[in-house]
Amino acid sequence: MKAKKRVMTTSAGVPTPKRTPTVRKIKPAWVGPSSVSSATTSGKRPTTTRPGEVGADPARGMDPIAALGIGDVAGSASPDGLRASRAGIDAGMVDLSVDLGRGLVLENPVMVASGTFGYGVEYGEVVDVERLGAICCKGTTLRPRQGNRPPRVTETPAGMLNSIGLQNPGVDAVIERYAGLWAGWRVPVIVNVAGESIDDYVAVVRRLESVPGVAGVELNISCPNVGKGGLQFAIDRDAAAAVTRAVRAATDLPLIVKLSPNVADVRPIAQAVADAGADALSAINTLSGMALRADRTGPFLGNTYGGLSGPAIKPVALRIVYEVAQVVDIPIVAIGGITCLDDVLDYLAAGAVAVQVGTAIFADPTLPIRLVDDLRAECASRGLAAYGALVGTALPQRPGPPVSKGAEYRP
């Protein structure tokens, strides 16, 4: 199970400090049956001949987002091109798989966000967890943490505040209690890693290295609810790059870095993290906020400040995904206020290749599974055999629309 998920990209066992994502062979999400050979042989920019296929232009290869794993997977899933005729596509045939880098291939792009799904076992009685794209487990630190004083959560308009404070039993206990179970699951489990120092992060990741059942790590450099560590890395470009680089050097696990919205401009940070060797980015963590007691005698949360999540932050997250997608060429996982298929499509259009559902799980635990079905049905209804064509459609500087029908027949 594990071996299949992870593919070493290194030679002679030496980790490459930096991966060049653009070398990955890009195949279009949708390729017109007749256009492929002529386009590649003539060296001209291929165009789709099928009108109405928004974003299906194979020339997405020129575009930053085209380097995302999505086109790759769409192509590899059906190597001879996806013969997607509108009539012939039914939902069962739609391939939703996505490659987040280093062989971390998800069966579908709907993940569950860290902290909202525990270790994947808590919701087991009501959710078929194996149908999820991936599970990001609760933030894990080197040593056990008790977390913040209660109360820790409260509802706010269209959202909630939480200040759990990274309560967790420590990485060794997590591995001991859950890794064996995870190894038997079809769904990849990505361990969310937090720490107070670079050494902490590296130590945790080293222990996760080559543990069966751990499919990847998500670097939580953006937790707003702990005094030391967490946010201090995400708000500083050099610190974010340093911790990413250190972890990258320590592990061959697929590495996702979770960005914080609590910064003035996220783009330089995202760029630095990508250059430091992250395989993918996830955005965003919660926004720092607070609530007062009903009698207004002080802050409501035991920690004073909490992280805001839920539909209230979706516009912020969408902006950050949109910005980041234009400056990095590694896959982006969007997080923030997803409650329905439209939210997923928005994030895909803004340049994300996968999404994480968080707060909405509390109200509707089966939502992530339903989103998978909805996305599949949406692709089928649009005549798409993969959802790659939905990615990045809202980004600027896309190559223009297909020039004209039959252009590829020019000598």
Residues near other proteins, by CB under 8 A: 115-119, 122-123, 125-126, 138, 146-147, 149-155, 157-160, 162, 164, 167, 293-294, 300, 302, 310-312, 339, 359-366
Beta pairing class for 153-156 and 305-309? unpaired
Q: Which of 137, 223, 340, 379 is catalytic?
A: 223
- Phi, psi angle pair for 109, to nearest 5°: -90, 10
- Which residue's entry shows tokens 């906020």? 289
Pick 47 or 309: Cβ nearer other proteins: 309
- Which residue's entry shows tokens 């420590």? 170
Give the shortest CB-126-to-other proteins separation in angstroms.
Answer: 5
Pick 78 or 167: Cβ nearer other proteins: 167
Pick 112 or 325: Cβ nearer other proteins: 112
Pick 117 or 387: Cβ nearer other proteins: 117
Pick 41 or 146: Cβ nearer other proteins: 146
223 catalytic? Reply is yes
Give the shortest CB-361-to-other proteins separation in angstroms.
Answer: 7
Pick 122 or 238: Cβ nearer other proteins: 122
Task: Give me Rg for the CA atoms of the chain.
Answer: 21
Pick 46 or 358: Cβ nearer other proteins: 358
Q: Which residues are catalytic?
A: 223
